[in-house]
Structures are given as C-alpha cells and as structure tokens.
Amino acid sequence: MKRIGIIGSGSIGAAVARLAVAADYEVLIANSRGPESLTDLIDELGPRAQAGEVRAAAEFGDIPVLAVPLAAYPNLPIDAFAGKSILSTGNYYPHRDGRIEELDTLESTTAEYEQTLLPDTLIVKAFNNILFHHIPNLANSLPRTALPVAGDDTAAKNRVCDIVNALGFDTVDAGTLAESWRFEPESGAYTPIYAASADGFETITSPTPGLPFRQAVCARCLLPRIALMSGRDSSDA
C-alpha cells in the first residue's frame, strides 16, 4: 500500500490526510502536541490512518508532507528528513512567523529559505496556494483543478506531481524553488484564483466551495507579467 507521512494536523495537514485516505494511502500524521491529541482526527480518517510522533511521520513513506507554520521548521528533527524529498505546503506570514529578512527583501523565496533550514533534503513546493476549505470540493473536480508545483530536482518534483495527481489535482510545472514566488502570497497564482466569488477574496473570511480551475488557466497565472502583483518587476522572471 502507498504510504504518506504528514507533519501538521491543522487546516492543511488534515485536508491532505483526508484526500490521502480517500486515495488509498496509508497515512501517519503528527503534530506538536503528540499522537494522543489526534484521536478525533484518526477516528474520522478511519483504519488507513494512524497518529505518531513527528520523526515517525518523517520516516513513513518516501515523501513526507510538511504542513506546519514556517516558524516551526527550525524545531523539526532535521536528521529524520535527511535524504528525503519533502512536499512543503508552507507560506511566509510575518504576523505569524516573525520577520525574516531574506524573505522581506525578496532575496529568496519561502521555498528556498526552507531548503536552507532542511539542507539535506529536496524541497518541493505544492498545496501552498490553495485555501484548505477549497481542497475538499476541488479534489477530483470536473473539470480537474490544477495546482502549481515547484522544485529544483526534476525527479523529486515529478514524484510530488504523482502524489498531487493521486490526491485529485492536475499539476502545472512552476519551475524551480527560485521561481516559486509566482504562487506565493500576493502573487498572481495564489489562493483567490480558486475562489467562487468574483473578487476572489470573500472566501478567506467566509468559507465557500471553490470553483474548478483548469491546468491551462493555472499556467497562465504563473506568467511573468502577473508578477507585478507580487511587487517584482517582470524582468526578474
């Protein structure tokens, strides 16, 4: 059976776990408070899911999912991730994560910064640009909804794309970690693109189902000219 370890049992970790059990993955999920705090979620997920420590989740399956705030990365057991590819859902929000100079100055993307925190891994960025409450109804939507995926290692990125596909989404190759700013917060390919409301923002405070969002349209949102929305010049692309 396919296995996936998920670190973080909050909005995104739980949403990915629900997709994973539905796609016949065996899931081991961890959080900061320990397995005993996950009884209700495991009951909901059913017999294919178990709770464990962070280290166990990192070692369970080939590609762990990191669904924790950026500020939690330095507290992770780094050695447990050594040699692994990681599907990272993380974003940088200064009000939550504290100010990080490299990110404030746009010197590096969040994914590049994460790569420095987990140096002996291959970070692949996915699931960071979709709100958790859009995930359940857009997984396996008709037409299928696409998510951008970025990473420096092509083989690792392809393997993450296989997982994202199995969980119910098409993928768009969004390039390297350096290019992943194209679907960071405030970019042209961030969460409002999946919203059903006309301005795209209503659902952040008032959760409603998203609308299917095709691969070709998703790819267009990653184009350089949209980069102006993230405060960068299109010549950066």
Ligand X SMILES: NC(=O)c1ccc[n+]([C@@H]2O[C@H](COP(=O)([O-])OP(=O)(O)OC[C@H]3O[C@@H](n4cnc5c(N)ncnc54)[C@H](OP(=O)(O)O)[C@@H]3O)[C@@H](O)[C@H]2O)c1
Contacting positions for ligand X (CB under 6 A): 7-13, 30-33, 54, 67-70, 72, 75, 89-91, 93, 128, 131-132
| Least CB distance to ligand X at residue 167 (A) | 14
Q: Which residue is nearest to ligand X (CB)?
A: 10
Q: Which is nearer to ligand X, 53 or 173 (CB)?
A: 53
Q: Which is nearer to ligand X, 110 or 141 (CB)?
A: 110
CA end-to-end span of the chain? 41
Q: Please tell me whether residue 215 adopts helix, strand or coil conformation.
A: helix
Taking alpha carbons only, the member of 48, 46, 65, 49 closest to residue 7 is 65
Q: Which is nearer to ligand X, 26 or 53 (CB)?
A: 53
| Least CB distance to ligand X at residue 142 (A) | 23
Q: Which is nearer to ligand X, 212 or 225 (CB)?
A: 212
**Do the bridges between strand 146-151 and strand 26-30 make them parallel or antiparallel, or are there none, so unpaired?**
unpaired
Distance between CA atoms of residues 208 and 199, nearest Å = 13
Q: Please tell me whether residue 54 adopts helix, strand or coil conformation.
A: helix
Q: Which is nearer to ligand X, 95 or 142 (CB)?
A: 95
CA gyration radius, the chain: 17
Q: Which is nearer to ligand X, 155 or 204 (CB)?
A: 204
Task: Identify the burial level of 231 via C-beta atoms within 10 angstroms of its C-beta, where 0-12 means exposed, 13-18 middle and 19 or more buried.
Answer: exposed
| Least CB distance to ligand X at residue 66 (A) | 8
Q: Which is nearer to ligand X, 197 or 237 (CB)?
A: 197
Contact between 27 and 50 (Cβ < 8 Å): yes
| Least CB distance to ligand X at residue 54 (A) | 5
| Least CB distance to ligand X at residue 233 (A) | 26
| Least CB distance to ligand X at residue 173 (A) | 19
SS3 content of the chain, % helix, strand, coil (to 5): 45, 15, 40
| Least CB distance to ligand X at residue 125 (A) | 10
Structure tokens at 26: 């065996």
Q: Could you please report the per-residue DSSP string of 147-204?
A: EEEEES-HHHHHHHHHHHHHTT-EEEE---SGGGGGGSTTSTTSGGGG-SSSSS-HHH
